[in-house]
Structure 1
Amino acid sequence: MRIKVCGMKYPENMEQVSQLMPDYMGFIFWEPSSRYFTGPIPELPEPIGKVGVFVDASISFILEKVKDLNLNLVQLHGGEPPEYCTSLRQELKRLAGPERKIEIVKAIAVGQSFSFGDLHPYEGKVDYFLFDSKGPLPGGNGFAFDWKLLEGYDLQTPFFLSGGIGIAEVENLRNFMGTSLAKKCHAIDVNSAFEMQPGLKDPGQLQTFIEKIRL
């Protein structure tokens, strides 16, 4: 099972977490966030994908960060419409060239009023969805949503599963991965449940989680 550790902020902590070899590490480029990241990203092991998280940012700002930090994925965590995703994909393709693909992740807030119908316009315009808990913040609200709300997901786009996931969810995750829906689950996204303070992850807790998940 692929694992993404999001909301990384401190270079030394990034190096500690990178030793656990998560599949992705996420960096938030939304200034109001307590996990807002500035500065260079330390050199990470080659297999780890670098994900830039943006909230209603201009395409030019995203392209600047992708170029400067050599990002592999762009995660859109605001109200970006499908047309924006199309334009961004075209610009990322120009920037990357024929030898490289920079993928797009569109975050979707899941609450009781969640409808799959809202996702159809994004099909073919993004590479992944990311299902997160609906709350006061664009992300990092620290609690899980009811994964049963995803039952009946019939779109082709694979997804990241996010929203307050911690060690307490290991058994539920194992059960989830035994369902037919798991075939479309590209990765598990973790963040606030493993923090000692915003942006500072507990490597020991993360190691325990990753070992349990990858059994």
Structure 2
Amino acid sequence: MILKFCGIKTKVEALSIRPLNINMVGFIHYPKSKRHLDIEQINKLTRLLPDEIDRVVVLVNPTLQLIKKIINATNINAIQLHGDETIDFIKQLRLNFKNIKIIKALPATQNIINDIDQFKEHVDLFIIDTPSEQYGGTGQSFDWTLLKGLDQSIPFLIAGGIDVDKIKQIEALKLNHLGYDISSGIETDDMKDKNKMLTVIQQVKGEL
């Protein structure tokens, strides 16, 4: 399964993650988030990671100009859109940045299947997160049974307060998710916790 560890903030965290058996690392560029980093910080941290780990910048309702600036100034290779971005905007993003992976975060509502249908031809991966006014990062979970209607043709990760115990509960539902996007569930006192990260990896992948 795919594991994305999100909200990396420091060199210590990046170096602790570098050798781990994970697939994606997320860096947040959104001033309202407690995990916000400026572009220069993102540049320094992304360059500490190996190429086999996707380096994702998480943005909320960005402009194309901002995305271009971040792509040119950092070592990211994926954009995660966590706001109210339109299909037309994503089409423009794809047209302008053909080599960048596009991830769209969507809130887990009763409309999730219809929402995914609108975007699925234009993005590489979905992240299904807990609905919130602050566009994610709440550490709260949602009703995972909302995802039972998503088949294997839809590439999606589950987010929202994910930790080892919740992973066990989700696995029992036999959903078609590709993996998990985790931030608070691998933290202690707002810092990434190596032991928690290793425990999650062991649970999800079966090997470190």
Is the structural similarity TM-score above 0.5? Answer: yes
- Pairing 1:190–2:182 present: yes
Per the alignment, residue 195 of structure 2 pairs with 204
Q: Is the 8 A contact 1:164 1:192 kept in 2?
A: yes
Corresponding position of 2:33: 33
Q: Which residues in structure 2 correspond to 1:52-201 (within 5 Å)?
A: 52-93=57-98, 101-111=99-109, 113-154=110-151, 156-176=153-173, 179=174, 181-182=175-176, 185-198=177-190, 200-201=191-192
What is the deviation of 1:154? 4.8
Tell whether the 8 Å contact from 1:144 to 1:164 is kept in structure 2 after alignment: yes
Q: Letter of the aligned partner of 1:210 in structure 2?
A: I
- Shift of the 145–214 alpha-carbon distance from structure 1 to 2, 3 Å rule, reads same
Count of matched residue positions in the alignment of Structure 1 and Structure 2: 201
The percent identity for this pair of structures is 30
Asked if 1:49 is matched to 2:54, the reply is: yes
What is the root-mean-square deviation of aligned Cα atoms in Å? 1.7
**Which residue is equivalent to 2:16?**
16
Q: Aligned with 2:149: secondary structure?
A: coil
- In the alignment, what sits opposite 1:98? none
C-alpha distance in structure 2 between counterparts of 1:7 and 1:90, whole Å: 28
Residue type of the partner of 1:108? L
Q: 1:26 & 1:120 partners in 2: Cα distance?
A: 25
Mapped partners of 1:46, 1:128: distance in 2: 19
Q: Which moved more, 1:61-70 or 1:47-56?
A: 61-70
Paired AA for residue 103 in structure 1: K
Gaps of 5+ in 1: 94-100
TM-score by length of 1: 0.87
- Secondary structure in 2 matching 1:151: helix
1:70-107 Cα shifts (integer Å, max 9, x gaps): 212110000001000000111112xxxxxxx3110110
Give the letter aligned to residue 214 of structure 1. Answer: K
Q: Which amino acid counterpart does residue 64 of structure 1 have in structure 2? A: K
